[in-house]
Amino acid sequence: MSGFQTTKRQLLPLIRGLPIIAIFFFTALYIALQVVNYTPNTYQTIAKIKLDNQKIGLSSNQLYSDFDVFSTESTIQAEAAVLNSPLLIGMALDSLDFSVALYRKGKVKNTLLYNDSPILIHYAFVNPQLFDKDYFIYITKTNFFQLVNEDGVALDTIKTALGESLLLDGGVLKLEKNKELFKQQEFQLAGNYIVHIFSRDGLIADVTERLDIVEVDKDIPIIRVVYKDAHPQKAADLANELCKTYIEDYVNVKSQAAGQTVKFIDQKLVEIEAELHKTEIALEEYKATHRVVNTRQETETGLRQISNLQVQLINLEMNEKAVHELEEYISGGDYFRNRSINFGFGDLLMTELVKKLKLWQDQRIDLLIKYTEESNEVRAVNQKIEELKNYIVEAIKRNKVEIVTKKDEITKSLAVVSNQFEGLSTREKEMRILERNFQIQEQVYNFLSQKKIEASIASSANLAFHRIIQTATVPRKPIAPNKTLITFVTGLFGLILAITFIYLRKYARAKVTGRQDIERHSALPLLGLIRSGNSAQDFIGLVKTMKLKNKLNNHTVIAINSTVDGEGKSYIALNLAECLSVIGKKVALLSTQSPLPNSIALNVILSNENKIENQLTFLHQTDDKQLHFEEELEKLKLQFDVVIIDTIASGVGVEGIEAMKYADVNLYIIRSNITSIDYLDHADRLVEEYKIKNVMLVLNHAHKASNYSGNFVGTRFSQQVIPTSLMLKVRTYLNTYLR
């Protein structure tokens, strides 16, 4: 019970402060509404791309396996980096009209116009300083426009008509009506506008800042393209165009790689075809001359070996040519933008290294947007690019040495295998040599023809096994500002601020609020309390408590005092006097300050020998310098059962302390939420310093939910009857706790 009562007492300031909480809460909601109304909207759209997996994807099908033979299996992170590269973003922006951003300027919030813009903007800038800056433009009602500053003040008196060009320092700016849009509906053109013209690098940087390319999961080959913009249609257009550009670039790179391979094979086929024709003619002439029908069985094995070695030698020559092309590719100038990075010799590690080199170069381009060539970040990337390039060059050297070594070994093997025919007759040997040459050339020709078909299919089949599985749609609702979240957080903050204010106000004021504060800071006993709204009942209880404590005897002087005025001592004195008179006591209420209505001077009563018949008599002092106050009190006690003195506050004048000194019972008034806790120490010091006896505290204006002693809080501790009806019960609780 003690813990529950403590909790209720701690909650009383909160309950009484509900109006303050309501003010803070609704003020916070109003602020949240203004923030939502005046914050520019941000729209977000999402597109998804599924990457092809050559192990389990569509390209793993035997029917399509040759369509993508020149591509390598890339990681999801690498493809995400390609999508987020400035090169690919720039290619996508080439197809979109994002170079100019037009805003309708408002008093608080600016509105972005895109395909719904009533004016079209054209520019031709030679001076690069004209890019990446805002132009504030005012359009008059007469369809003229002029440059103004941010505050709307004209920078020049010259006005240019819509459709005519405005000359700038190093460029031309032209504004005209969007006639197609005006055919659909009428617009009010007059007003202030903000025009931002991007440079290419500035536009790429602006888009990159609001673009987020992430993989759904490291094991799931799906990339999510998330883009945010102030205009919903603009957000959807960028995301869709970027995905489309990625697929088209993938197809183009694959086709270019296959086309280069077809050219190389065509050159080799011409050479092999000529050699094949020569060997065929030589074989026919030899057979006709020497009348040869068939060859010996024992030479077939040797011929097959020679054929295999020749095929291997041709493959090495192809690889050697590819290595030379790669060496030229690495050592040749700016090779990161316009050429393919796929090569035909099949070294996947080398291809991945070149891809990684390209990614570092893209990162270098990104850093150059923010930093200079001499910055540490750019130097670090340059060093990594140089190291990777040196590694690739060294790897190329090793591959060239390895190819030369293998060619020498195959050549030696061919010489060894060819020697087996030296033991045959001259006719058979020459016959076998001719057949061998013919078969070798035929096999090489068939091999290259097959590869040409495969490369031609890959070159002509514009297929992309990467698929757009979700196109970006035009968002209907903005993601920012989040009205629900802002309203909730702001409302919660308002509640927290109100509660904090209530309790800080309570502890900062350091006022007496209840019995617990009195017992914590004073050694004087608490006689009782007077609750707001229960005055008559509480005064009767106060009188009964005094009787139970034997403090209310015949001819008793009761002094009522407080530290300062405003604690309610005059109110307590008057009501206590009326209550005592009602129960039959003959009471005199002596005011040492301003006289009450129908009050009699003290010296008049003392000089009157007639007995007073009234139950309640109001008296007042006429001489502030009276030095015989004790004698006067003794005389009054002979005429009245109870003498109540409404004294001067003890913190204001010593007269109040004098009355307490001579009184039989002293009631020191403490007013809830008004009296400072320091005043309790003042009462204790008075008792100790002046040896005043029978001093008891009375808590005035206590909360009406407290019981008669102040020990408990709640409607169940009052004498009122709690109604059974729910509505009446709620009304009773509100009336008890909120007033």
Percent of the chain past pLDDT 90, that is, above it, reads: 25
- pLDDT for 610 equals 61
- Amino acid making up residue 603: N
Instruction: Round the average pLDDT of the chain to a whole number and report it.
Output: 81
More confident residue, 70 or 716: 716
- Are 622 and 653 within 8 A, CB to CB? no
- pLDDT for 723 equals 63
Distance (Å, whole) CA 688 – CA 355: 93
188-192, 389-393, 456-460, 726-730, range with greatest mean pLDDT: 188-192
User: If DSSP codes are grouped into helix, strand and coil, which group holds residue 83?
Assistant: helix
- Amino acid making up residue 494: G
- pLDDT for 735 equals 61
DSSP letter at 545? H
- pLDDT for 62 equals 42
- Sheet strands side by side (includes 144-148): 111-113, 100-104, 191-197, 133-139, 144-148, 160-161
For residue range 533-544, what is the model confidence (pLDDT) as tens digits? 767 888 888 899
- pLDDT for 363 equals 80
For residue range 546-605, what is the model confidence (pLDDT) as tens digits? 989 888 888 899 999 999 988 888 999 999 999 999 888 899 999 888 788 888 888 777
Q: Is the pLDDT reported for residue 640 higher than 80?
A: yes
- pLDDT for 57 equals 44
The 8 Å CB, 24+ separation contacts for 686-694 are 686/650, 686/657, 686/660, 687/524, 690/657, 690/660, 690/661, 692/657, 692/660, 692/661, 692/666, 693/666, 694/551, 694/663, 694/664, 694/665, 694/666
For residue range 25-60, what is the model confidence (pLDDT) as tens digits? 999 999 998 888 888 899 999 999 988 765 544 444
Q: What's the pLDDT band for 489 if we cut at 50, 70, 90?
A: very high
DSSP letter at 295? -
- pLDDT for 551 equals 87
Q: Is the pLDDT reported for residue 238 higher than 80?
A: yes
- Which residue, 49, 471, 469, 467, is CA-closest to 222? 49
- Are 630 and 660 within 8 A, CB to CB? no
Distance (Å, whole) CA 295 – CA 290: 12
- pLDDT for 707 equals 73
- Write the secondary structure of 350-384 as one string of H (helix), E (strand) and C (coil): HHHHHHHHHHHHHHHHHHHHHCCCCCHHHHHHHHH
The mean pLDDT value for 6-30 works out to 82
Q: Is the pLDDT reported for residue 491 higher than 50?
A: yes
- Are 646 and 591 within 8 A, CB to CB? yes
Which residue reads 């015949």 in tokens? 554
**Number of neighbours of residue 605 by Cβ within 10 angstroms:** 19
Angle subtended by helix axes 483-509 and 2-16, to nearest 10: 110
Q: Is the pLDDT reported for residue 623 higher than 80?
A: no
- Sheet strands side by side (includes 600-601): 526-531, 695-702, 665-671, 556-561, 642-646, 587-591, 616-620, 600-601
- Which residue, 650, 90, 591, 627, is CA-closest to 369? 90
Q: Is the pLDDT reported for residue 8 higher than 70?
A: no
HSE-CB of 504 using CA atoms within 13 angstroms: 6
- Amino acid making up residue 623: D
More confident residue, 510 or 686: 686
Q: What's the pLDDT band for 315 if we cut at 50, 70, 90?
A: confident
N-terminal to C-terminal alpha carbon distance within the chain? 24
- C-alpha dihedral sign at 576, 579, 581, 584: negative
What's the Cα-to-Cα distance from 464 to each of 214, 253, 476, rounded to whole Å? 21, 11, 31
Q: Give the range among 13-27, 206-220, 221-235, 716-730 with minimum mean pLDDT.
A: 716-730
The mean pLDDT value for 446-471 works out to 78
The mean pLDDT value for 154-179 works out to 89
- Which residue, 428, 404, 429, 409, is CA-closest to 418? 429
DSSP letter at 676? B
Which residue reads 């094991």 in tokens? 219
Residues 6 or more apart from 603 whose CB is under 8 A from it? 622, 623
Residues 6 or more apart from 35 whose CB is under 8 A from it? 481, 486, 490
- Are 541 and 530 within 8 A, CB to CB? no
Q: Assign residue 53 a region: left if phi > 0, alpha if psi is -120 to 50, beta otherwise? A: beta
- pLDDT for 291 equals 59
**Number of neighbours of residue 647 by Cβ within 10 angstroms:** 26
Q: Which alpha helices (DSSP H) does 583-690 contain, by range?
A: 602-607, 629-639, 654-662, 678-690
Q: Which alpha helices (DSSP H) does 616-653 contain, by range?
A: 629-639
- Structural domains of the chain in order of their starting residue, each with its CATH number: 2-39+483-508 (no CATH), 100-197 (no CATH), 260-465 (no CATH), 511-703 (3.40.50.300)
Dig out the tokens for 444 from the structure: 């090489």
Q: Is the pLDDT reported for residue 229 higher than 50?
A: yes
Q: Is the pLDDT reported for residue 344 higher than 60?
A: no
